[in-house]
Amino acid sequence: MARHGQWALGGLSSSLDKNEENTMPKIITVGTATSEPGTIQYGQWETLGHPTGHVEFLPVIIAQGKEDGPCFWLTAGIHGVEQAGPTVLYRLITQELVDRLRGTIVAIPALNPAGLRTMKREPYHAPEDPNRMWPDGKPAKPPDPDKQPPSSLEKAYTRLFDEIVASAAHVIDYHNAWTGSISFAFRDRVLYHADQEADRHKAEAESLAATQFEMLQAYGHTIITEFPAEKYIDEKLHRSVTAATLFVGKIPSFTVELGTGDMPDPAIVAAAVAGTRNVMRWAGMLDGNLERIEGIKVVDAGFPVRRCGTPRAETACVVLHLVEPGDKVRAGDPVAEVRDIWGRPVGDGLLHSEYDGFVIGRSHGIYYYPGDEVLGMAIRDDAPLIAPYPADYYKD
Ligand SMILES: [Zn+2]
């Protein structure tokens, strides 16, 4: 069970109540891996069969301290081009960590082995975004003969979700946003079912949101809130790993984005390892002061922010960006030069920010069609952090 010790950056050290009896940690089995106090155990979790007779498995690492404490699930590698997350897990999980650990880490560094082999976001055997096929909390529907049934992978994730919910006190899922983007963590708006028990569901959502925010603060990287509720559902983001564990599993969870994916940045990886240990300190799994998050930009706009792809190109053009990831901008500031293919200015030659906020990253490339997003930005967030599912959510 999670007991949150005192924690503060450079101040109080995290400590469990020393009078509390030390009990042996609970045995946790995932696939062929079974925890053994004081050790790191390795195993396989069978996912699906291929028509060629090969069986896909997910690698499982269970690191368990000698004392009881929370069970923290850490997952990565669901998008094959995003390879910083697996790197974080390989750097994080060491015997030295286990020697100081209270509780258990269950880590899966390759949620999408096919995507990692081919360096593709989607696995070739289930060509959909694997981070949009996790349980959505809707009642099961009878099979529709005119619809493709859930893929073997989606079924496997549903089974894995049940295993996560059975043991996890907290979950972090590691991703990369895009090339050159800053390291940040997503704050989710917690959605709840506005049925006859809406008050209870809302209180539960508020509590989950508060705990998620504490975890995000302990992690210590830039915090950016996800899209407003309707766009979030439209984008199927409620079916990501951590949205499923948060909304359906009721487990405080979040997603982190670690900059460039296909060439992990050692500074971001080190800061994510430190941030994860800080979340473990917050959870009472490690002693000691919070580590300083160094070597990366941590941006605070001074007001709550959410992500937004903006500004958009107004015409087909070449874009020469004028701002860097992490830069603060104000509405009206020029953020890019706009040129034609000969390099001549288009119009007044400038594209301006429509919002106050900061730059998460430049979009890939310099060639843009009308409507293309030129920057990923964090802009002022006015939408509520707790929201009911849209009225038609449970109807389709
Ligand atoms: Zn991703």
Question: What are the pLDDT tens digits along the chain (396 aa)?
Answer: 444 444 444 433 444 444 455 688 899 999 999 999 999 999 999 999 999 999 999 999 999 999 999 999 999 999 999 999 999 999 999 999 999 999 999 999 999 999 999 999 999 999 899 999 999 999 888 889 999 999 999 999 999 999 999 999 999 999 999 999 999 999 999 999 988 999 999 999 999 999 999 999 999 999 999 998 889 999 999 999 999 999 999 999 999 999 999 999 999 999 999 999 999 999 999 999 999 999 999 999 999 999 999 999 999 999 999 999 999 999 999 999 999 999 999 999 999 999 999 999 999 999 999 999 999 999 999 999 999 998 888 876
Structure-token pair, residue 3: 């007991």
In the sheet with 367-368, reading across from the earlier edge strand, the strands are 345-352, 334-339, 317-321, 367-368
The structure's pTM equals: 0.93
Helices 266-282 and 84-92 sit at what angle, rounded to 10 degrees? 60
- DSSP letter at 130 equals G
Q: How many CA atoms lie within 13 A of 338 on its CB side?
A: 21
Say which residues have a Cβ less than 8 Å from residue 308's Cβ, sequence separation at least 6: 227, 355, 357, 376, 377, 378, 379
CB within 8 A of 54, min separation 6: which ones? none
Angle between helix 266-282 and 198-219 (nearest 10): 130
Exposed, middle or buried by CB within 10 Å (0-12, 13-18, 19+), for 126?
Answer: buried
**β-bridge partners, 106:** 62, 73
Report d(CA 47, CA 41) in Å as an integer.
Answer: 19
Dist. CA 176 → ligand 1 center (Å): 5
Ligand 1 centre from 174 Cα, in Å?
Answer: 7
Q: How far is CA 290 from CA 23, 282, 370, in A?
A: 25, 8, 46
Q: Using CA atoms, how far apart are residues 212 and 226, in angstroms rounded to an integer?
A: 13
pLDDT at position 19 is 43
> What is the whole-number distance in angstroms between the Cα of residue 78 and the centre of ligand 1?
7
pLDDT given at position 17: 47
Structure tokens at 162: 């049940």
CA of 224 to the centre of ligand 1 (A): 15
Count of other CB atoms within 10 angstroms of residue 39: 13
Whether 35 contacts 41, CB under 8 Å: yes
Residue 325 Cα to ligand 1 midpoint, Å, equals 18
